[in-house]
Amino acid sequence: MTQLLIEGRGLSLTRQGTAILSNVDIHVGAGEIVTIVGPNGAGKTTLVRVLLGVLAPDGGTVTRKPGLQVGYLPQKLHVDPVLPLGVRRLVTLTKRASRAEVDAALVEVGGLHLAEKAVSGLSGGEMQRVLLARALLRRPDLLVLDEPTQGVDQTGQAEFYELLRTIRDRRGCGIVLISHDLHVVMAATDRVICLQHHVCCAGAPRTVAGDPEYRRLFGPAAAEFAIYSHRHDHGHDLHGNPLPCDHDHGHAHTHAPTASDEVRP
């Protein structure tokens, strides 16, 4: 059985009279990649902040493995373009590391060639690799990535998720991904949690390796991808609150038409 790294049970958080999280359960084990999906404003970042202890929930409990080391990649890192910040410096800003350690981390993310570059000149994909190297220097048990491939093209996204899977395999760490783009995130995912303030559903995505349309759209790496779709036993009102529903339906934000996958409600 995999070692439990982090677990939230019955997590609830209300702000200004609105339930941002409602009775959310989530757990992540060592070597497991869990993706939290959901539309804008669904509470994904809030859930991660609660899990990491940055925010206290109004209800529920969070349990972390004692001494849990977390490597966090924020959704955005604002770097002033006029600031003369190099990649080596950025990587070691919050964690001391030798030159050899930095090089090793950059090699691991395929970014050694970026070592002497200015941060302001990096592309979105290069920046993510550098931030990943920075997170790896902490020797994390758990990597948490918030929308890691925003602004990265689809080939770049596929490569990045492949890299995450390689890192998981090599290091045995757990990984939590936040995404609202279901199409590209599934390559590396063991389990999906669909969040709309509450957990709509959760389950294992099935790989859709043979879909020619999908391969055509996303290139050879798409063979690794699955598209996740699911059936709900409830709908939502305008505020995202669950409503009883007597027919299957999809969320516009989560469904792709070409394949389906099983989930548990």
Ligand X SMILES: Nc1ncnc2c1ncn2[C@@H]1O[C@H](COP(=O)(O)OP(=O)(O)OP(=O)(O)O)[C@@H](O)[C@H]1O
Interface contacts to ligand X, rule CB under 6 A: 15-16, 20, 38, 40-46, 180
What is the C-alpha separation between 189 and 171, in angstroms, rounded?
Answer: 16
Nearest distance from C-beta of residue 175 to ligand X, angstroms: 17
Q: Name the strand (E) or helix (H) holding 264.
A: none
What is the C-alpha separation between 156 and 160, in angstroms, rounded?
Answer: 6
Nearest distance from C-beta of residue 197 to ligand X, angstroms: 8
Which residue's CB is nearer to ligand X, number 58 or number 162? 58
What is the C-alpha separation between 6 and 63, in angstroms, rounded?
Answer: 6
Phi, psi dihedral angles at 10 (to 5 degrees): 60, 40
Nearest alpha carbon to residue 191 among 212, 206, 173 = 206
Nearest distance from C-beta of residue 53 to ligand X, angstroms: 16
Which residue's CB is nearer to ligand X, number 45 or number 157? 45
Which residue's CB is nearer to ligand X, number 19 or number 115? 19
Which residue's CB is nearer to ligand X, number 102 or number 128? 128
Nearest distance from C-beta of residue 45 to ligand X, angstroms: 3
Pair 255, 242: CB distance under 8 Å: no
Three-class secondary structure of residue 182 per DSSP: helix
Which residue's CB is nearer to ligand X, number 41 or number 172? 41
Nearest distance from C-beta of residue 90 to ligand X, angstroms: 23
Strands 4-15 and 59-64: antiparallel
